[in-house]
A and B are shown apart, each in its own frame.
Chain A
Amino acid sequence: GNSVTQMEGPVTLSEEAFLTINCTYTATGYPSLFWYVQYPGEGLQLLLKATKADDKGSNKGFEATYRKETTSFHLEKGSVQVSDSAVYFCSKNTGNQFYFGTGTSLTVIP
């Protein structure tokens, strides 16, 4: 079927720590892949995207690589900041439908 599975949270890290949030998807067709971020009380906003295999999306120090062979799109950041505290959603777009993971809550402490 169509699904997106991402790492369960919550995740708590110290400032400047390395972040990885795992995301895998079911390989139906040729999806585009996205990471969205949701700050408290706000809607989701695009963090980064990749539209085909081996593409790397990047923004604000975050990166994710579209891995077709492992059907994965893991989010990474080398040094997190307190301002990165938010909920992160992995998403896949196939045709006219979007599928989201359950979200991973990240808290970064000073």
Chain B
Amino acid sequence: EAQVTQNPRYLITVTGKKLTVTCSQNMNHEYMSWYRQDPGLGLRQIYYSMNVEVTDKGDVPEGYKVSRKEKRNFPLILESPSPNQTSLYFCASRILQGAGTGELFFGEGSRLTVL
């Protein structure tokens, strides 16, 4: 089954304690991206990657890091989480094709609370 898998689905942590949210896709998609969803703000792009070792900032990258060492994986790293990073996070992937017509495939989300 084609899917995007995120872990953990739920996490409560404390300020400053490094954490990683993993994302894996089994569709051989080149493009992967991370979003945060906040009430009244919709989804905002944090980082995206067009292929292995190619990453770029989205609209809200501050406080986050990513890496793309393998095509299927795109972890989101919070080196020193703060309460304003409490949010619902989504990983998504899509095939890279011309004219940007490919839709995104989303994971089920990771709800992060930073105390």
A residues lining the B interface (CB < 8 Å): 4, 30-32, 34, 36, 41-46, 49, 51, 89, 93-103
| Complex: A31 Cα to B43 Cα, angstroms | 17
Q: Across the interface, do B41 and A49 meet the contact criterion of CB distance under 8 Å?
A: no
Q: Across the interface, do B42 and A93 meet the contact criterion of CB distance under 8 Å?
A: no
The B1-17 residues at the A interface (CB cut-off 8 A) are 4
Q: Across the interface, do A44 and B99 meet the contact criterion of CB distance under 8 Å?
A: no
Q: How far is the CB of A26 from chain B (nearest CB, A)?
A: 14
26 A-B residue pairings within 8 Å (CB atoms): A31-B100, A32-B100, A34-B104, A43-B90, A43-B92, A43-B107, A43-B108, A44-B92, A44-B106, A45-B106, A46-B103, A51-B101, A89-B42, A94-B100, A96-B31, A96-B48, A96-B50, A96-B56, A97-B59, A98-B43, A98-B45, A100-B42, A100-B43, A100-B44, A101-B42, A102-B41
| Complex: A34 Cα to B106 Cα, angstroms | 14
| Complex: A89 Cα to B33 Cα, angstroms | 17
Q: Across the interface, do B58 and A97 meet the contact criterion of CB distance under 8 Å?
A: yes
Q: Please encode chain B, from 48 to 91, with 1 for each CB lying within 8 Å of some chain A CB and 0 for all others.
A: 10100000101100000000000000000000000000000010
Interchain CB contact (< 8 A) of A89 among B43, B50, B99, B107: B43
Chain B count of residues within 8 A CB distance of the other chain = 26
Q: Please encode chain B, from 13 to 34, with 1 for each CB lying within 8 Å of some chain A CB and 0 for all others.
A: 0000000000000000001010
Q: Across the interface, do B104 and A98 meet the contact criterion of CB distance under 8 Å?
A: yes
In the bound complex, residues from chain B placing their C-beta under 8 Å from that of A93 are 100
Contact A43:B42 (CB < 8 A) given known A31-B100, A93-B100, A98-B33: no
Q: Across the interface, do A42 and B101 meet the contact criterion of CB distance under 8 Å?
A: no
Q: Across the interface, do A32 and B99 meet the contact criterion of CB distance under 8 Å?
A: yes
| Complex: A36 Cα to B109 Cα, angstroms | 15
Q: How far is the CB of B96 from chain A (nearest CB, A)?
A: 9
Question: Nearest chain-B residue to A95 (Cβ)?
Answer: B100
